[in-house]
Structure 1
Amino acid sequence: MPVILQSTLLLIASNVFMTFAWYAHLKNLSAKPWWIAALISWGIALFEYLLQVPANRIGYTELSVSQLKIMQEVITLSVFVPFAVFYLNESFKWDYVWAALCLLGAVYFMFRS
């Protein structure tokens, strides 16, 4: 499997965990004290790190740190928007589209030769 694909798939999986760690408590634990939400989030984030660290180490064999970071940001937005809309029942906003277009510009500048 190509290095970029390995890194991308691991980053997607890590982002799913991190998105839940950062935001799921807003829906599921809003009645609990913040420190309970923090402890649960840290537990979820552990799985994110177990995927994210190897993703970056694998990706760094062929990509620069800047390219890895931009890839991470694109994946973050790609995971966050469906999470916000379908899991948190937020309304879809055109700002998501404009942000995605800005990120595509960032991808272009980071990945051009």
Structure 2
Amino acid sequence: MADEQVFNLWLGPSTETFEWFTADFATVAGTEFTRRLHRHIPPTRGPLRMTHPRAHQLRWSREVLELPASDAQQLVLFLPADDATATALDHLCERPHRTALRAV
């Protein structure tokens, strides 16, 4: 997951944002972050797996939405990757009926 997140930063919405981010953050984040940042190798993408204390195993699909270049921002949506995750999310949110899109 770390490789994926750092690669997404490298892809980033703009060169200026990437340069600002690496100048300010890389010194704080350390050598492991910098090593990952400069690999430029796309990581294997698949469902993101997380272990929740009450819901146990959850699997998420990610959708990245690029916002207009003037905003230099991205929006990452995490959507249930399977029925078991959707059901567990419903129980966690105490929602009796599933909806197509929900804020978490």
TM-score (norm. length: structure 2): 0.28
Higher helix share: 1
Higher strand share: 2
Greater CA radius of gyration, 1 or 2? 2
TM-score (norm. length: structure 1): 0.27
Q: Using CA pairs below 8 Å that are at least 6 residues apart, which structure has the higher relative contact order?
A: 1
